[in-house]
Amino acid sequence: MPARKYSTDAERKAARRAQSAARYAANGKKRNADRAAYFAAYRAANREKAAAWRAANQEKLTAYQAAYYAENREKIAAKGKSWRAANPEYAAAAKAAWRAANPEKQAAYQAANREKSAAYYATYYVANRDKLAAYYAANREKYAAQKKAWRAANPEKQAAYQAAYRAANPEKMAEYRAANAEKMAEYRAANAEKLAATYAAWRAVNPEKCAAGQARRRARFHNVTHVPYVDAEVFDRDDYYCQHCGIKTNRDGNYRSHRAYPNKDHIVPISQGGHDALYNLQTLCKSCNASKRDRSDHIAKSRRSAA
Ligand SMILES: [Zn+2]
């Protein structure tokens, strides 16, 4: 029998405990690494099991995450902020993906922060004008395609925008027409039917504008002065009395062919150089107008100026 190292069991146990504590302390790092590797391997080998567990405990998990988030809001926000600062490209891609996946939320956010973003972009554009111009020049085709798609998807907005632009920039429009006269004539020739249909539809909904345009063109054709007016101004001024026979004309309840229907008449016909303006216009009843035809009406004129 070899000599016993320890005289009592208690001594032996104490020595062994001390030895194992020392070994445990010395192997701390290795043990942690081993444990991490073990768990990583375990997780890798049991991925499906974990997914099944998560699926089965979704509510519990969601509640836990919500509680954790509520309790650590600032900590999480700070962590996210520093991560985004360190990974700008990933952050931008994640943002773009989120926006694409959540269009309603994105729209709501934009609507709620419209002024804030307008102010932000205004300063941003001013500060980055050159950079933006260069970027735009480098991505011209991409932007052109984007614009085209937007216009196709938003025809009313596009039409309203164009109308506003035309109204605000008459000189630019005139310059453009002058510079592109040939191109425009070619377009009109190639799209005659389409344009005729468009104009017909426009005339149907804009009778007054249409009449005003006709009056302008007729005056231009006869080289006489045109001062815009509407027919009702003539009738109101003459109080609906025929300036020739003196009967009271009436539009309400009368057909256009009725003899008492009010007619607007040029005292000196435009074809004879009379101006297209209130001062050369008078009210006639239908039958007086029909018998007058294209004569200058001095009688009626003198009648009105006497009244
Ligand atoms: Zn009359």
Distance from Cα 271 to the centre of ligand 1, integer Å: 22
Distance from Cα 247 to the centre of ligand 1, integer Å: 6
Q: Which pLDDT value is given to residue 190?
A: 94
Distance from Cα 300 to the centre of ligand 1, integer Å: 10
Distance from Cα 208 to the centre of ligand 1, integer Å: 26
Q: Which pLDDT value is given to residue 52?
A: 92
Q: Which pLDDT value is given to residue 72?
A: 92
Is residue 278 classed exposed, middle or buried when 0-12, 13-18 and 19+ CB atoms within 10 A define those classes?
A: middle
Distance from Cα 215 to the centre of ligand 1, integer Å: 24
Q: Which pLDDT value is given to residue 2?
A: 61
Q: Which pLDDT value is given to residue 182?
A: 93
Q: Which residues, 6+ apart, have CB-to-CB distance to 202 below 8 Å?
A: 210
Smallest Cα–Cα separation from 275: which of 284, 264, 267? 267
Distance from Cα 224 to the centre of ligand 1, integer Å: 27
Smallest Cα–Cα separation from 242: which of 185, 174, 279, 297? 297
Q: Which pLDDT value is given to residue 9?
A: 86
Which residue ranges of the chain lie beneath pLDDT 70? 1-4, 253-254, 293-307
Measure the CA–CA gap between 10 and 141, rounded to whole angstroms: 87
Distance from Cα 139 to the centre of ligand 1, integer Å: 71
What is the model's pTM? 0.38
Distance from Cα 285 to the centre of ligand 1, integer Å: 4
Q: Which pLDDT value is given to residue 3?
A: 61
Q: Which pLDDT value is given to residue 281?
A: 95
Q: Which pLDDT value is given to residue 27?
A: 84
Q: Which residues, 6+ apart, have CB-to-CB distance to 280 below 8 Å?
A: 266, 267, 268, 274
Distance from Cα 216 to the centre of ligand 1, integer Å: 27
Q: Which pLDDT value is given to residue 307?
A: 41
The answer to whether residues 256 and 245 touch, using CB atoms and an 8 Å cutoff, is no
The tokens describing 214, both together, are 């006709």
C-alpha of 115 from chain center: 16
Q: Which pLDDT value is given to residue 32?
A: 84
Q: Which pLDDT value is given to residue 1?
A: 56
Q: Which pLDDT value is given to residue 28?
A: 82
Q: Which residues surround ligand 1, an ion (CB under 5 A)?
A: 242, 244-245, 285, 288
Distance from Cα 284 to the centre of ligand 1, integer Å: 5
